[in-house]
Structure 1
Amino acid sequence: MPRKAVALVGVTNSKGSGVPNPLAPRSHGIELLRLFRGGPKAMWALAEGLLWTPGNDGLCGVSLHENVRYLVTGSLHGAKPWVSACGFVRPWNSLTRKQRKGFQRLYQQGCRCSVRLQPGPNTQCEWETAFRGVEDCQEQYAMCVPQANSGCTWLGGTPYR
């Protein structure tokens, strides 16, 4: 099973695989600015300075722009860090204050909780506003956190209410 990682990276350059094949993976030169989640293997893999993604958008590949800082979630496959459109890939300056604070300090508290798209056990939070874009208040202003009774619930500030 791939290991998960959450990191803040600065993109230094973008390049293809060197093979004229749209299905070949692309790599982005990066500088690791901060590792929010992931162990020593993630730190080592990201410190190598390359972030991999599928070769095109149809395969869930992402395009990153040079000189932009991104918050990325992804996984390690072997010794390579991978990101895709199925994860969370956003320019750092596009995140709300609540999201930045969450990644910097709070989300780790909720690591035993997970988010799901349909009803499930109480150790998960149901993502009720999924896929609403800029109107997705749960994504922008709330976080799934543990409760004293071993369950999980959404916690958000005034914009979430």
Structure 2
Amino acid sequence: MTWTANSCFVTLTILFLWRVEEIAEACSCAPVHPQQAFCNSDVVIRAKVVGEQLVDAGNDIYGNSIKRIKYDIKQIKMFKGPTRVFDAIYTAPTSAVCGVTLVNNGTEYLITGKLEADGTMHITLCDFIKPWEATSATQKKSLTQRYEMGCDCKITRCRFIPCIIHSPAECLWTDWVIEKTYNGGQAKHFACIKRSDDSCAWYRGEAQPKRDFLDIEDP
């Protein structure tokens, strides 16, 4: 009887540890408005992939080799970041640990990412990465004119009604409750801009989306 109880305990412990490891390896990201992605990133560029290789990135605390995918890129335009040209970006080897898959077929991408201590650019599935042709006209224009103007504002994601904001310096992001997608009208056609009185409001871009929410006047 004692042996059976111990065996069950060991089995449950193994299953628990296996489940914890499985959860830890999953990649989960909260949706962010493109403007938030811009403001939170160290680097924002337009680029295309010209090569790909699996490289060593040192060892973990157990001495195991850490692998990274190195994408060789051709940088087309810098929207935010240091005054130099990036010729490579790095990501984890699998999507389970937030690795990003890019294609080397001439596709140009809008890529946001972080700077590592060694000056390299690292990207994850939590960054805003999208084919350039799939971005809206307002998103393209906002990369150089509008997003930075609202980096002191807070974009509050509304997941269900009623939605609440706690400060005049917030813009309520309602794409999910209105359109059931985070790639809706506000993400595609609006930027949250700070006004002269330090309040924030949605600023309408080139496209004219439907009047689904109230705060759409120009600042």
| TM surpasses 0.5 | yes
Relative to structure 1, the CA distance from residue 28 to residue 114 in structure 2 (aligned partners, 3 Å threshold; closer, same or farther) is: farther
Question: Equivalent residues in 2 for 1:1-161 (5 A)?
Answer: 4-17=42-55, 24-40=67-83, 43=84, 47-66=85-104, 67-78=106-117, 79-117=119-157, 119-130=165-176, 132-134=181-183, 136-157=184-205, 158-159=208-209, 161=211
Contact 2:56 2:68 in 1 (8 A): no
Sequence identity percentage: 23
Please report how far the alpha carbon of residue 150 of structure 1 lies from its aligned counterpart in structure 2 after TM superposition: 0.3
**TM-score, with structure 2 as normaliser:** 0.61
- Structure 1's unaligned 5+ residue stretches are none
The one-letter code matched in structure 2 to 1:121 is S
Higher strand share: 1
In the alignment of these two chains, the number of paired residues is 153
The one-letter code matched in structure 2 to 1:125 is C
- Structure 2's unaligned 5+ residue stretches are 1-39, 58-63, 159-164, 212-219
Task: Please say which structure displays the higher CA radius of gyration.
Answer: 2
Contact 1:6 1:37 in 2 (8 A): yes
**TM-score, with structure 1 as normaliser:** 0.80
The one-letter code matched in structure 1 to 2:109 is Y
Note the alpha carbon deviations across 1:64-118, whole angstroms, 9 max, x for none. 1112111111110111101111111001011111111111333222232242336
The separation in 1 between residues aligned to 2:95 and 2:186, in whole angstroms, is 26
SS at match of 1:138: helix
Contact 2:170 2:200 in 1 (8 A): yes
The separation in 2 between residues aligned to 1:71 and 1:34, in whole angstroms, is 9
The one-letter code matched in structure 2 to 1:113 is C
RMSD (CA atoms): 2.7
The separation in 2 between residues aligned to 1:76 and 1:132, in whole angstroms, is 30
